[in-house]
Each structure stands twice: as C-alpha cells, then as structure tokens.
Structure 1
Amino acid sequence: MGHGGDVIQELTTDHREVDDLFARIEKVPPGSPERKHLVDLLTIELVRHSVAEELHLYPAVREHLSGGDAIAEKEISEHARVERLLKELEERGADAADFDQLVVELKTEVTAHIQDEEGVLFAALRRACSGQTLDELGEKVRTAKKTAPTRPHPGAPDTPPANKLLAPGTGLVDRARDFVTGRGK
C-alpha cells in the first residue's frame, strides 16, 4: 500500500502490483472462488489508488500542467468507467456467466489508463514539478491510501472538496465491512 519515494514512484509501484494481480487472476481457473478473492484484492488496490489520485494527483495536474483541467477530467472519467466495472464484479460470484468478460474489460481499461499515465502524464509532471513537490505528493498519496475506501462507490464525488470530505468516512465503513466479512485477507 505505501512504498515510498515520490508520487511517480509510488503510483508506478501500485501499477506493477495491479499488473501482478491481473496475472495471478489469469492463472486461476474460471469459476474458482480464488478468482473472486483475487478480484477483491484487485478492487481494494484499485479503489485506494484511484481515490488517492483524485485527492492529490489530479489537483496537482490541474495546477502544474498546461491543459491540466482537461487532462484531470479525462483521467477521472477513466476512473469512473473502471469503478463501474468494479461494482459489477463486486456484485457477482466467480461462477457468474459474465464474470470473466468483466475481468477482461477491466484489464483493458486499467492497462490503457496505466500506459497513458506512465507514458505521458508522469513525464509531464516530472518536467513541471520540483523534486520536493513530487516527494510531498508521494507522501500525501501514501497517507490517502491508508484511509481511502476499499470498495467501489460509483456515485461518490470524485473531485474536491466533496471527495476530500467523504473519502475517509467511506473508507472507515468499507474497512469495517471488510473486517467483519474477512474480505481482502
């Protein structure tokens, strides 16, 4: 969850963890309960990552990059599509007829988002921001992931100030639900 380094290092490490989870999912036979467990772990990681980006990365994109508002809106709309897919997967067992197709759609969306962030956005941020700014953003992202929700909430606000006010409370409720159900262990 928290890896250290500047915001780009932190988020890139998250991306590799997501890639690893997709690879693990693909190795498990369709319909297996282990496949659902791995999708739950993937969901937890993606939701925490997305919330942290929406709280801290995208406001920095708006502030530091030319055309930052449009870039941030594009990224947030990609998150919304991913969150809708995660919600659909949350509502299904691994034996559901469309479970594997939803996983494929999710992987396609997430992979494209990761490639865009790593290939374009992160390079632009590295050019536009000081090392200190990137380090501070990395710390903010790590802190946000600790209190972020762990379940998809497609209807929740994804821009400041509402997301900053609601995310910690939603995260607390999600972690309580996870504890009670054993989800994510």
Structure 2
Amino acid sequence: MLIEEHRDLWQLGTELSCLSPSEPLAHALGELMTAELVRHIVAEESFVYPVARTHLPQGDLVVEQEIAAHAKLEQMMRELERPGLTRAEFDALHVRMPAEARRHMQTEEEWLFPLLAERLSAEELLALGRKAIEAKEKASIRQRLAEPEGSLLNRIVASGTTLVDRVRAYLQDTGYAS
C-alpha cells in the first residue's frame, strides 16, 4: 500500500511540475499533493516507524533518519507556500523536492520495507496494513478538500499556519495518528 502511495505522490508531483505557479490548477494540485504527502508521512510515522523501532536492529537510529528525511520534505513544502514565489524558485524547489522524495522512497522500498517484511509475520504485516487502510479512510484528505462551506480547506486556510502544519493538526484531531 505504501509503495502504491509513493507512485501516486510521484504522479501528482510530475503533474504539478508541468504547471506555472500562477495557474489556479497549480495551486489546487499543490494543496492536494501537500495534503496527501503529509498524510502519507504521518501514516508512516504513526504505524510503520514504531514497528521498525522495535523489530529492526538499530531501529531507533533507522527511524530517526527517516523522520529527518520527512522533516526535510515538509520544509520544502512550506517553502512552496511562501507568498510571492517566483517561477525560478518554484522550479528550483520542484527539482530538489522530487529528488529528495525519490531518495527517501528508494530507501524505504529497497531497504526498510524488505527488512520489515523479513522480521514480521504475515499476520503482523496484514494487521499493520489494515491499520493504515482504516486510518486512511477515516481521514480522507481528498474528500475533505472537496467539501463545501465548513470544509477542511476553509478551516485550514482560516487558521493562518502552513498547509503542512494544518494537515498534521487535522490528522491528529481525527485520531489518524493515534
């Protein structure tokens, strides 16, 4: 499931990189990508990383490195929200961010996920997958962004913080990260 999400996020990033930052679609797609990426990051931090801490040799070190990679991606997303972002700045971020995301995804897909698969039973892997699916359904970002008045989008815009921080707060409020 997480690898499939990696592919979906990569597709969103590719589509976004083809648009000018002044296009309305770029803004909407950027918000969707940010919300989905933060949701994915929170899912990994809430469900996968606690298991990695306890089941992998040097699990704490491994998880801290992965969390640092997430923080770097979130900082880049915050930079994308900066008012008055020029096309050159937008383009530069859209070169750096996918490269960072690709490195992170490759580390997870080629190293972390296989290590977990070796150390967890089939039942443990299924239970972990079920938890992630339930949480994803419970905190559907796309559904909330599409709601009319009173929607997630209206609530997060009114809060005055970055979209990254607003989505994290929303996920915590829905019990996603519990």
TM-score by length of structure 2 reads 0.75
Aligned counterpart, 1:168: 172
Aligned counterpart, 1:65: 56
Aligned counterpart, 1:3: none
Structure 1 pair 83–30 and aligned structure 2 pair: CA distance change class (3 A): closer
Aligned counterpart, 1:102: 93
TM-score by length of structure 1 reads 0.72
Q: Is 1:22 the equivalent of 2:3?
A: no
Which letter maps to 1:147?
A: A
Q: Greater helix percent: which structure?
A: 2
Q: Is 1:153 the equivalent of 2:153?
A: no
Aligned counterpart, 1:12: 3
User: Which stretch of the first structure deviates more once superposed, 73-82 or 98-107?
Assistant: 98-107
* Larger RCO (CA within 8 A; separation ≥ 6): 1
CA distance in 2, matches of 1:93, 1:41: 20
CA distance in 1, matches of 2:140, 2:63: 19
Aligned counterpart, 1:177: none
CA distance in 2, matches of 1:107, 1:30: 16
Aligned counterpart, 1:144: 135
Structure 1 pair 148–90 and aligned structure 2 pair: CA distance change class (3 A): farther
Secondary structure in 1 matching 2:164: coil
Secondary structure in 2 matching 1:66: coil
Q: Is 1:39 the equivalent of 2:30?
A: yes
Which letter maps to 2:108?
A: E
5+ long unaligned stretches in structure 1: 1-9, 157-162, 173-185
Aligned-residue offset at 1:53: 0.7
Secondary structure in 2 matching 1:91: coil
Aligned counterpart, 2:157: none
Is the Cα–Cα contact under 8 Å of residues 83 and 152 in structure 1 kept in the other structure?
yes
Is the Cα–Cα contact under 8 Å of residues 51 and 148 in structure 1 kept in the other structure?
no
Offset from partner CA, 1:79-102 (integer Å, 9 cap, x none)? 011111111212346755512212
Aligned counterpart, 1:53: 44
Is the Cα–Cα contact under 8 Å of residues 85 and 106 in structure 1 kept in the other structure?
yes
CA distance in 1, matches of 2:114, 2:45: 18
CA distance in 1, matches of 2:73, 2:3: 18
